[in-house]
Amino acid sequence: MTSLAFAMPAEIVDPSVVAPPGDLDSNEPPMESYQHLIQMLVLLGSLELFWKARTDYFAAGNLTIYFSPRQLESESFRGPDFFVVLGTERRPRKSWVVWEEDGRYPNVIVEVLSKSTASVDRGLKKQTYQDIFRTPDYFWFDPETLELAGFRLSDGRYEPLSPDASGRLWSAQLGLFLGVERGQLRFFTPDGELVPAGLELAQRAEFAEQRAESAEQRAESAEQRAARLAEKLRELGVDPDTLK
């Protein structure tokens, strides 16, 4: 997303516009493409399933972060494609208002690149996340070229992350790898296992159910064959129970 608003602080602040009520509406435009939307939903859905027992984080996509030093809704806001804040209450929010959240900024941010946003994501946004947000882990991913880059904040500066042998990047904040799988950015466990999304879990459940039904059908078929064989033996005057 490309939404951005920075305003220089004025010398005199009108108290009537300072510290607006919390739970401000998000100010983000629609996702740029269906591909962007699906990518954001996959990241969000898979992390929420993986962390379903946790209540100490907030994850969102395409949601405005308000961070005005003067607590103004009209200045200093950003809308990352995907972000995670740790050490906070897991509950729905219309936006992330820093001054209403004990000054917390995202621990992890992911931007999905496009032709219209790539230069901002690589430049101005990266600078903002480094210098103002102090976000420890920043990643960007291009769904067209499959470019994946990641940075870790070290002594106030972003240092590039080195990929592992599988081309994945480690997020120390999440305790997960980020890597490309079938053209999508996905999460992986420290052991390299793909963190499943909702549809994949449903497919696994369906496959397991089909296997169980198949096993039950095979068992029933074997029982029917045994019953037919026993009947044939009785017709021949042989008690099948004596053959056991």
Report the predicted TM-score, pTM, of the whole model to 2 decimal places.
Answer: 0.72
Nearest CA among 130, 181, 175 for reference residue 156: 130
Say what the pLDDT of residue 20 is: 45
pLDDT-wise least confident of 128-142, 211-225, 227-241:
211-225
* Cβ atoms 29, 3 nearer than 8 A: yes
Stretch (H or E) spanning 126: helix 124-128
Alpha-helical segments (H) within 100-197: 118-122, 124-128
Q: Tell me the mean pLDDT in the region 155-174.
A: 97
Mean pLDDT of 100-105: 96
Which pLDDT band, with edges at 50, 70 and 90, does 14 fall under? very low
Give the pLDDT mean for 150-157. Answer: 98
Sequence ranges of the chain with CATH classification 3.90.1570.20: 4-195
The band of 175, judged by pLDDT with boundaries at 50, 70 and 90, is very high
pLDDT at 239: 74
Q: How far apart are CA 79 and CA 110, in angstroms?
A: 11
Residue with tokens 């029917």: 224
Based on C-alpha coordinates, what's the Rg of the chain?
Answer: 27
Residue 74: pLDDT band with limits 50, 70, 90: low
Residue that wins the pLDDT comparison between 224 and 187: 187
Structural fold of domain 4-195: tt1808, chain A (3.90.1570)
Q: Mean pLDDT, to the nearest integer, of 138-164?
A: 97
| C-alpha 77: how far from chain center | 22
